[in-house]
Amino acid sequence: MTDVPMVLAEGVSKSFGSNQVLKSISLEVRRGEVMCLLGPSGSGKSTFLRCINHLEVLSAGRLSVDGELIGFREVGGKLYEMHPREAARQRRDIGMVFQRFNLFPHMTAVENVMEAPVLVKGQPKAQVRQRALELLDRVGLAERADYYPAHLSGGQQQRVAIARALAMEPKLMLFDEPTSALDPELVGEVLDVMKGLASSGMTMIVVTHEMGFAREVADELVFMDGGVVVESGDPREVLSNPKHERTQAFLSKVL
Ligand code: ADP
Ligand code: MG
């Protein structure tokens, strides 16, 4: 099973009313790989990530994670949307970190990290707490376990959010502009945690405009515009020698 891609998108399309936001996206992320997604605002990056964990329902095409079709069952060659409970089960294996940290404000860092495993997996509290403390240590926040989000910096909150996603032991992590809301001096500490995660072998899709991160960490860079993949390849190659005019125009603005 190890040659089954972690993410396989085949002709993924998504429309909101008459607005076709994704136009037949096909791509593959292999196990342990990091893919960076890049593209102008409105190009469909967030929508694509949301399709991967079935927060959006595809209009056409198919998506699988670790060989399992997401959001649909195939019966006699036809696709039927699955029960929300089943979709929720699939979603547990896919960690997501957003631009805004969305921590529960009334819970401490460690309580935030413990919430899902206790609630969803029903694991014993002491064991979950131990594991949550290990995860906070891993993101460099062992000392901040009992702090409330309001007393943590944006970078620290985002690292708690990463620990919280990891607490569910996902096989895939999706990051949607995880550093865009941070003050510049806090970006590095979050990217460092993500680098560590990548080198531990986590499969990741990262929407980011941090070109240094993409160049250093990504196995593949995908440039999207207008709901299509315009160009993809080795990040160093795409960044230093973009082939398409639209990629060149975009990079000339952000680099
Ligand atoms: P990006 O993340 O690349 O900036 P998005 O995926 O957020 O792009 O948005 C792509 C397009 O889809 C935009 O035109 C946006 O207005 C539209 N869109 C996204 N979500 C919805 C929604 N829930 N309903 C209607 N239109 C949406
Ligand atoms: Mg977005």
Instruction: Give me ligand 1 centre to Cα 21, in Å.
Output: 7
Answer yes or no: is 51 within a domain.
Answer: yes
Residue 1 lies in a domain: no
Query: Which atom of ligand 1 is nearest to 176's Cα?
Result: 2
Instruction: Considering every ligand atom shown, identify the ligand nearest to the alpha carbon of residue 23 and give its number.
Output: 1
Residue 85 structural domain: 7-252
User: How remote is the CA of residue 111 from the centroid of ligand 1, in Å?
Assistant: 32
d(CA 45, ligand 1 centre) in Å: 8
| pTM of the entire predicted model | 0.96
pLDDT tens by residue, 149-191: 999 999 999 999 999 999 999 999 999 999 999 999 999 999 9
The proportion of the chain whose per-residue pLDDT surpasses 70, expressed as a percent, equals: 99
- pLDDT-above-90 percentage for the chain: 94
pLDDT(1) > 70? no
Q: What residue's CA is closest to ligand 1, atom 16? A: 42
Count up the domains in the chain and report the number: 1
Question: Any residues with CB less than 8 A from the CB of 241 and at least 6 apart, and which?
Answer: none
Q: What is the mean pLDDT of the chain?
A: 95
* C-alpha distances out from residue 252 to 37, 165, 179, 239, 242, Å: 17, 34, 21, 10, 10
Is ligand 1 within 6 A of the CB of residue 16?
Answer: yes
Going by C-alpha positions, the residue among 195, 136, 196 that lies closest to residue 164 is 136
- Domain with residue 207: its CATH number is 3.40.50.300
Return the best residue to mutate from 14, 19, 36, 47 for the ligand 1 pocket (most ligand atoms within 8 A of CB).
47
In a domain, 2, yes or no: no
CA of 217 to the centre of ligand 1 (A): 27
Among protein residues, the one whose CA lies closest to atom 24 of ligand 1: 16
Question: Does residue 57's CB lie within 6 angstroms of at least one atom of ligand 1?
Answer: no
Does residue 45 have its Cβ closer than 6 Å to ligand 1?
A: yes
**For 208-231, what is the mean pLDDT?**
97
Given this model, what pLDDT does residue 2 score? 63
What is the CB-side half-sphere exposure of residue 25 using CA atoms within 13 A? 37
Q: Measured between alpha carbons, how far is 112 from 152 in angstroms, rounded to an integer?
A: 13
Q: How many whole angstroms from 201 Cα to the centroid of ligand 2?
A: 25
Ligand 1 proximity of 47 Cβ (cutoff 6 Å): yes
119: enclosing H helix or E strand: helix 109-121
Q: Is the CB of 157 under 6 A from ligand 1?
A: no
pLDDT of 3:
85
Q: What is the identity of the amino acid at 207?
A: V
99 within a domain of the structure (yes/no): yes
In a domain, 194, yes or no: yes
Ligand with an atom nearest the CA of residue 50: 1
pLDDT at 189: 97
pLDDT digits (tens, 9 = 90+) for 42-78: 999 999 999 999 999 999 999 999 999 999 999 998 9
Query: How would you label 197-216 residue by residue, b for 16+ Cβ within 10 Å and e otherwise?
Result: bbeeebbbbbbbbbbebbbe
